[in-house]
Structure 1
C-alpha cells in the first residue's frame, strides 16, 4: 500500500467514525444511552473476536490490565457522550469532545513537568474562545448540563488516549482493543439494568443506526485505522484527526438537519484550527527530541 492509498483509506476510516455522533443521536431516541453503549460494544467485540480470534490465544497480564483500564476510561467517555447527546446537538458534542487533544497535551506536560510551549498556549486560547462561541446563548456564555457532561467526557477521552499510548508499547494493541470493547459492553449493560429501564431495540431506523455504529464506526474503524496510519504520512493523519469534528458536524447537518449559527460555526472553526496547530506543535517537539537523541545532545539527561 502506497501513502496515497493509505491516506484515502484513513480519510474513509475517520469519515466513517465521524458518523458515530449522528447514529448515536438517532439510536438514543429508541434506546437508553447505557443500553445502547452495551449493545454496540458487546456486538462489536464479538465480531472482532471472530476476525482476530488468534490474538486471543496470546493474551497475557499486560493485555488484560490494558484492556480493563482503557475500557473503563473509554466507557466513562462514551457514557458522557451519549448522555450529552440527549441534551445537545450532535455537532456541538463532536467539537466539545475532541478538545481532548488539549487535555492530552496539558496532562502530558504535567506528568513530564515541562512547560507546554507558547504554540500550545496559543492553541489553548483558541480552544477556549471556540468553546465560548459554541456555548454562547444570546449575549451570555453559559454551559448547559449537556455541554458540561460532554466536556467531562473529553477529559476521560484524554485519559484513554494516554493509557492507550502507554499500554500499546507494552502489550499487543489489538488484544487490548478487543478486551476494551468487551469491558465497555459488559459495563454498559450492567449499568443499564441498574440505572435505566432497558427496552428491546425495535424498528428499522434503530437497527440501521445500530448497524452503522457497530459495522462502520467500530469494526471498520478499529480494523483499518491502524493499517492506514502505518502507511499514511503523519501530517495527513494529524490533519484528518483534527478535521474529524467538522466531518461529524457535516453528517449531523446532512442527516439530522442540525444547523449551526454563524457564531457557532466560528467557534467550530477556531477549535479545528487549534487542533491542527496542536498536532503540528506536538510533531515538531517529537522531531526535535529525535534529532537531539540522534546527535547525542540528550545523553546527559537520560
Structure 2
C-alpha cells in the first residue's frame, strides 16, 4: 500500500472518530460508561471476527500479547473519554484528546531518549496555552471532564506508539480485531462489577451503539493498524489532529454546541501547536556553507 492511500484511510478513520463523541453522548443517556464501551467494542469484535474468521486461525502468541495490551490501552482511552463526556462538551473533548500528537513526541523523549526539536517545544507551549484558554474557568479551575480527556490523550499516545511497534512483527488485521475483543471483554467485566449490563432501550441508544460499533470501532480500529504500517507514528498523529475539527463540526451541526470566544482562541492554539509540532519539525534546515563556497555558488 502506498503511503498516500494509507494516510487517506487514516483520514476516514479520523472522521469516524470525530463523530464518536456525539454518539457517545447519545449512548450515555441510557447506558453506563463501561456498558457502553463493552457493547461498542463487543459488537465491533463480533462483526470483524465473523468477517475474517479464516484469518483469525493464524493468530500467534506475539499477536495475542500485543492485542491484549492494545485492548487495555483502548479501555483506558475510552473509559476516560466516556466519563469525561458527562461533564464536558463534545467540542472540548475532541480538542483535548487531540493532544495525543503533542504527547507522542514527549513520550519518545522521556522514554526512548530521543532529542526534542525546537518546533516540538514551540508546538507544546502553544498547545498548553490553548488548553488553558479552552478549559480554565473564571476561578482558574479545570473541570474533571476536561482533565479526564487530557488523560485519555496520554493513553492514546501510548497506544499509537505500541501499535507502531506491534505492526512491524504482527499480522495487522488480526491485531486490529483482537484489540477490539480485549477492550470489549475488559469493559464487560468492569460493567458486571460496577454496573448492571443491559442492551439499549431507546432508538437513540441503538443508533449510538450501532454507529460506534460498526463505523467508529470495527472500521476504525481495524483500518488504523493496517494503514499505520505504511506511514509513521508522527504522521499518524498529525492526521489524528483533525479529529477535533470533525468533533466540533458534528457537535455544532447536530446539537448546536458552540465555544465561547475564549474557547475558540484556545482551540485554535491547540490546533496551531499540533500542526507546528509536526510540520515545522519536518522542514529541513538550510546547510551551513563557508563564505567562499557561498560566493562561488552564487557566481555559477
* Distance in 2 of aligned mates of 1:236 and 1:159: 15
**Are the structure 2 counterparts of residues 189 and 6 from structure 1 closer, same or farther at C-alpha, using a change threshold of 3 Å?**
closer
Aligned to 1:292: none
1:229 Cα deviation from its structure 2 partner: 6.7
SS of equivalent to 1:29: coil
* Distance in 2 of aligned mates of 1:2 and 1:64: 27
* Distance in 1 of aligned mates of 2:244 and 2:208: 19
Aligned to 1:99: 99
Equivalence map 1:148-167=2 (5 Å)? 148-167=147-166
Provide Cα deviations, 1:275-297, integer angstroms capped at 9, x if missing partner: 12222256559xxxxxxxxxxxx
Aligned to 1:269: 268
Kindly indicate whether residue 246 of structure 2 is the aligned counterpart of residue 217 of structure 1.
no
* Distance in 2 of aligned mates of 1:218 and 1:158: 18
Aligned to 1:260: 259
* Distance in 2 of aligned mates of 1:36 and 1:148: 21
**Are the structure 2 counterparts of residues 129 and 232 from structure 1 closer, same or farther at C-alpha, using a change threshold of 3 Å?**
same
Count residues with an aligned counterpart.
Answer: 285
* Distance in 2 of aligned mates of 1:156 and 1:194: 23
**Are the structure 2 counterparts of residues 12 and 155 from structure 1 closer, same or farther at C-alpha, using a change threshold of 3 Å?**
closer
**Are the structure 2 counterparts of residues 228 and 165 from structure 1 closer, same or farther at C-alpha, using a change threshold of 3 Å?**
closer
* Distance in 2 of aligned mates of 1:10 and 1:114: 25
Aligned to 2:288: none
Question: Quick check: 2:135–2:142 contact (8 Å CA) kept in 1?
Answer: yes
Provide Cα deviations, 1:2-39, integer angstroms capped at 9, x if missing partner: 98877765544322221001100110011001000001
SS of equivalent to 2:217: helix
The TM-score normalised by the length of structure 2 is 0.86
**Are the structure 2 counterparts of residues 53 and 284 from structure 1 closer, same or farther at C-alpha, using a change threshold of 3 Å?**
farther
Kindly indicate whether residue 50 of structure 2 is the aligned counterpart of residue 50 of structure 1.
yes
SS of equivalent to 1:194: helix
Question: Quick check: 2:160–2:233 contact (8 Å CA) kept in 1?
Answer: no
Aligned to 1:89: 89
* Distance in 2 of aligned mates of 1:230 and 1:152: 26
* Distance in 2 of aligned mates of 1:159 and 1:80: 14
Aligned to 2:114: 114
**Are the structure 2 counterparts of residues 94 and 4 from structure 1 closer, same or farther at C-alpha, using a change threshold of 3 Å?**
same
* Distance in 1 of aligned mates of 2:281 and 2:62: 27
1:188 Cα deviation from its structure 2 partner: 0.8
Q: What stretches of structure 1 of length at least 5 have no aligned partner?
A: 286-302
Aligned to 1:125: 125
Equivalence map 1:59-208=2 (5 Å)? 59-138=59-138, 140-208=139-207
Question: Quick check: 1:238–1:276 contact (8 Å CA) kept in 2?
Answer: no
SS of equivalent to 1:137: coil
SS of equivalent to 2:208: helix
SS of equivalent to 2:242: helix
* Distance in 2 of aligned mates of 1:93 and 1:227: 26
Provide Cα deviations, 1:166-208, integer angstroms capped at 9, x if missing partner: 1111211221111111111011111011112334311111111
Aligned to 1:24: 24
CA RMSD of aligned residues (A): 2.7
